[in-house]
Amino acid sequence: MVTVNQQRVPRKRTYLMCAPEHFAVEYAINPWMDLTVGVDVALAVDQWDRLRHTLVDLGHDVHVLTPQAGLPDMVFAANGAFVVDGTVYGAQFKHEQRAAEAAAHREFYQKHGWHFIAPSETNEGEGDFAYLPEAHGGLILAGHGFRTELPAHAEAQEALGRPVVSLRLVDPRFYHLDVALASIDDGNVAYFPGAFSAASQRVLAQLFPDAVLADDEDALAFGLNLVSDGANVVLNSDATRLAGKLKAAGYTPVPVDLAELKKGGGSVKCCIAELRP
């Protein structure tokens, strides 16, 4: 059972985001992208900026990556790399439409002096990797099934020196790990069991017996595509029941509206990469 009314302590985080100045739905590479639905770029920028200000107001540092024309999904900055203890494991996108984003992220990290390791395997950064520094001595959870390839999990383990637990995603609506599971503090997660294979569900239940479980309604509202500092949980405003579960577990839900960016198949976490020095 989840511990109720436990005191939650926030930890200052450093994030990387990229404004949706060129955001559009010009192709369909996930079930959420509909080429017949228009995008209001000005509204997308406004919603994104509110998210950025929310993080800053919570006391976190936010770096901003320069958006590039012709890369409409750069707003989903979580996909560009995965950072643990000052080491950056770079991304290698599955779809050619996003491939050039990897170089933009690599340039940022190298310019700012991070130790960057170029990948040989297909992986989509923090979209399919989550790090929990206080879970079982420091654990990486890694998704596969739709985007990131299984060999990338072994490559990440060698690059980052942390054990990697592979989790198989089985529902194409949850094509990345970060739309099905999120770290809510340094040692615990929230997730939607139905996004995972039966075996992966058993693994998660064993590793995280106190996890917050989302239902399908909140999962489909991108509620799990959230960012938490260990106390404050920034999540999609449509995920009301999940917000209630998090509050009951002692967290403070901070709802934000990212309806325009959802048209591209992402929400809060997709827009935010965590930089872990």
271 is catalytic: no
Of 85, 130, 125, 121, nearest in space to 106 by CA:
125
Of 60, 144, 270, 271, the active-site residue reads: 270
Cβ neighbours of residue 101 closer than 8 Å, sequence gap 6 or more:
71, 73, 74, 79, 80, 91, 93
Pairwise CA distance, residues 109 & 239, whole Å = 33
The answer to whether the CB of 221 falls within 8 A of the CB of 238 is yes
Pairwise CA distance, residues 142 & 82, whole Å = 11
Of 144, 153, 176, 271, the active-site residue reads: 176
Angle (CA) 149-98-40 rounded to 5° is: 130
- Helix (H/G/I), strand (E/B), else coil: 254: strand
| Token pair for 46 | 């406004």
Amino acid identity, position 201: Q
Pairwise CA distance, residues 232 & 55, whole Å = 10
| Token pair for 14 | 């450093």
- Helix (H/G/I), strand (E/B), else coil: 54: helix
Angle (CA) 31-232-33 rounded to 5° is: 10
The answer to whether the CB of 235 falls within 8 A of the CB of 223 is yes
95 is catalytic: no
| Token pair for 40 | 């209001």
Q: Which of left, alpha, beta for 112 (phi over 0: left; psi -120 to 50: alpha)? A: alpha
The answer to whether the CB of 67 falls within 8 A of the CB of 16 is no
Give catalytic residues, as residue numbers: 176, 270
